[in-house]
Structure 1
Amino acid sequence: MTEIVGTRVVHRRYVPYSHAHYAGNLVDGAYSLGLFGDVATEMCIRTDGDEGLFASYSDVQFRAPVRAGDVLEITCEVVKAGTRSRVMEFAVHVVARGEATPESPGAAAVLVEPVLATTATGTVVVPPRS
């Protein structure tokens, strides 16, 4: 199973304003966790030919806000592989952010330096190989 250690998956996602729940167009932390589930699913498909099941998180850190209008880059990397388990590290980076003003409601910009918003370590399980 060590051949899949180091495998990496990257997704990008625009955060719609319909997901804002709090003042300042903040999005709840569960949004990032849902994205981690999406990249973990693709990872399991690529490495094991199955969607797999998320079993647990051993660590989750909310480091910076995610806002409606952000463009996020979500990464997943396999750091340990057992017979049926895969330990993965996840990160959400904000790579672009809306900068709406009354004069320019659709203004947005690519960030010079991406902002690390959320990190996690999680374990998924996959069916035994035949």
Structure 2
Amino acid sequence: NCYSLAISAVVPRPIALVSTVGTKRMPNLSPFSYFGLMGHDPPLVQFAVSRNRDGSKKDTLVNVEESNEFVVNMISEWFVESANYTCGNWPYEVNEFAISGLTEIPSIKVSPPRCKESAVQLECIVESV
């Protein structure tokens, strides 16, 4: 199957823990393994968001389309178990920071919060969806 090949052919795969907020201001925190750098001048990152099983857009995509901002919080070993709690298909009104026990801190340039536990946090403005 194509999914199995895709996830095993390119390794190791970094995981982006992406934080977003939409117009309702509810923070969202979700992991993405289809993530990578696209260039350095200008610096560009990309991540791919699949749809929910019913075909609807996931909260991360809705928020990115509404705000045109997101934060990539790189996952490290010291908080990987907490980050794993963000994998659930939580309702929109659930704050994954609270579910996971991870700490929201304000970003400097964008609206979505950063994850305090992350050693590397990339505040991003959307170029294209």
User: By the TM > 0.5 criterion, same fold?
Assistant: no
Of Structure 1 and Structure 2, the greater helix share is in: 2
- Greater relative contact order, per chain length (Cα 8 Å cut-off, separation 6+): 1
Of Structure 1 and Structure 2, the greater strand share is in: 1
Q: Could you tell me the TM-score, scaled by structure 2's length?
A: 0.30
Larger radius of gyration: 1
Q: Could you tell me the TM-score, scaled by structure 1's length?
A: 0.30
